[in-house]
Structure 1
Amino acid sequence: MSTYHSIHFHIVFSTKHRKPWIEEEWIEDFHSYIGGTIKGLGAIPLKVGGVADHVHLLVGCKTTHRPCDLVREIKKAATAWVHSEIGFMPFVWQDGYAIFSVSPDACSTVSRYIENQKEHHRKMTFLEELVEILKLAGIEFDPQYLE
């Protein structure tokens, strides 16, 4: 029998100290590059989006993908792209990330959520958003580690 799977993750991570380093002029190319990186890692970039201080990814994975390895390689490649293409050497990501499993029937909702990040963040900060997502997912957290 073949291996059948449906593994989807919503991954969120921010720039160091949530600095608004991702510029409007190159954000689209940056998100495209991240999508290409995800493909290069053998996963499926269902949606890539975000704003100046963080990214959201909806990723379809294989059974052989380890989320920690996937995120590490995406962050590493994205940082290298900003350094080489934009020339902004201070750019780095915050340590850690948030990851949530997504059922197949919820992928379209999560995709729309990611697509509407710009509008969403006119009303809410990244930290407020993260707390809301963590609470919705039933994840306990210590607020001191969100700073």
Structure 2
Amino acid sequence: MPGTFSQLYVQIVFAVKGRNSLIAEQWEQELYKYITGIITNKNQKLLAINGMPDHIHILIGMKPSCCLSDLVREIKKASNEFINQRNFLKSRFEWQEGYGAFSYSHSALDNVITYIKNQKEHHKRRSFKEEYKEFLNKYRIEHKDEYLFQWIE
């Protein structure tokens, strides 16, 4: 009997609203575990997750039946509620609108996983703005700067 076979790998990148550095080291692993649960419950496979106080990178193995925008919306909505219900911050937490999504071949996975795991070291040399624009240029994604994340200069 014929079946559907696929290997879809996508890195998702999104930022804290206003690009504020709000994700604290004390609770970031708890946040990552929670997001892992969301992805797993949506029957997708988490391959890597890490970030900085102002943004997050997630690498997933995606089934073709998954709608990426629905998955990202659910991750952002549920993790907003998770952070706010636990009172990790004195103010209300929100993710910024929008996200980046970049696909990879199976042969690139080890490099992408290493890249995501080393975010804190990587960002000692390159800002998130530089990193994000590099992704857009590398993938030849046409864009206007005014539609990118709000950048704190």
Question: Taking structure 2 as the reference length, what is the TM-score of the superposition?
Answer: 0.92
Output the aligned Cα RMSD.
1.1
Instruction: Answer yes or no: is the 8 Å Cα contact 2:27–2:88 preserved in 1.
Output: no
Please list the CA deviations of residues 32-60 of structure 1 after superposition, one character each: whole Å capped at 9, or x if unmatched: 11111110111001101101000000011
Please list the CA deviations of residues 72-124 of structure 1 after superposition, one character each: whole Å capped at 9, or x if unmatched: 00111111110112343510011000001111111111111100000011112
Task: Trace 1:8-47 onto structure 2 (pairs within 5 A).
Answer: 8-47=9-48
Aligned AA (1:93)? W
Number of equivalences: 147
109, 112, 120: which one aligns with 1:110: 112
Aligned AA (2:61)? G
**1:25 aligned counterpart, secondary structure:** helix
1:52 matched residue in structure 2? 53
Instruction: Answer yes or no: is the 8 Å Cα contact 2:44–2:60 preserved in 1.
Output: yes
1:68 matched residue in structure 2? 69
Identity across aligned pairs (percent)?
Answer: 39
Task: Trace 1:115-134 onto structure 2 (pairs within 5 A).
Answer: 115-134=117-136
Q: CA–CA distance in 1 between the matches of 2:75 and 2:104?
A: 19
Q: CA–CA distance in 1 between the matches of 2:88 and 2:49?
A: 22
1:82 matched residue in structure 2? 83
1:7 matched residue in structure 2? 8
Query: Unaligned stretches of 5+ in structure 2?
Result: none
Q: CA–CA distance in 1 between the matches of 2:88 and 2:23?
A: 12
Question: How far is 1:65 from its partner?
Answer: 0.2
